[in-house]
Amino acid sequence: MRIILLRHGESLGNVDEMAYCRVPDHALPLTKRGQEQARAARTAVRAALGPGPVAVYVSPYLRTQQTLRGLDLGEVFERVVHEPRLREQDWGNLQDPIEQERQKQARHAFGHFFFRLAHGESGADVDDRVAGFMSDLERRMETEPSHPRTVLIVSHGLTLRLLVRRLCMWSIELFESLSNPRHCEQRILHKGPDGRWSLDRPFEQWRDSPDGAVQVDGNGEVARPA
């Protein structure tokens, strides 16, 4: 089983934080640059997917849907499933800019995993829902022989990091030391014969993990950011 993870392209919220005050998070569109990033990612994503068929699971947010359309790879998609459990961490509905900044500072000080946003989720909540999604996906593949063995997931930075954390059994401290993938940057997960998951290349790391945990490759060797 192979899973190609892809973060969405640059969205309006990435260049204008005030957009969250007037547009619901789920409705924020890609910028022109984000649309170009999606089109530019097509060749690399197509190569990673292989000959197909491919099952696609995509966050229902507008920016992820637009990213998927921008790839223009429908010919290899056996199915496309809009999966709410792959959505971005919930920060609440329309956000007040002053409260938003206060929440960000508190979250940074407290930790991105356990800090619960006042009107939304904690990272732990996202971790739980991606774990439920993966459990259902693996069970579906076991009971449905026709389900493709290659899966493309189009989602959000923190959501993808937490999905990898779960599958690779990384510590919370290591998760909090890693950066999100860049817009339209991909990672590939592979499940080996022993049932263990490995990541093709590490996430960028902005500090050493306080508990000494490291990212490892499929051979159990230490993998450091390039």
Binding-site annotation: residue ranges: 7-14, 63
Annotation: binding site for substrate: 7-14, 63
β 54-58/150-155 pair status: parallel
Handedness of CA 58, 64, 66, 67 (dihedral sign): negative
On the CB side of 218, CA atoms within 13 Å amount to: 13
Alpha carbons 95 and 16: distance in angstroms, whole number: 13
Does residue 88 have an active-site annotation? Answer: yes
Q: Is the peptide bond before 202 cis (omega within 30 degrees of 0)?
A: no
Instruction: Please answer whether residues 35 and 9 qualify as being in contact, where contact means their C-beta atoms are separated by less than 8 angstroms.
Output: yes
Instruction: Please answer whether residues 65 and 29 qualify as being in contact, where contact means their C-beta atoms are separated by less than 8 angstroms.
Output: no
Instruction: Decide: helix, strand or coil at residue 219.
Output: coil
Instruction: Please answer whether residues 130 and 85 qualify as being in contact, where contact means their C-beta atoms are separated by less than 8 angstroms.
Output: yes
Identify the active-site residue in 36, 78, 83, 88: 88
DSSP string, 53-98: -EEEEE-SSHHHHHHHHHH--GGGEEEEEE-GGGSPPP--SS--HH
Residues with catalytic annotation?
Answer: 8, 88
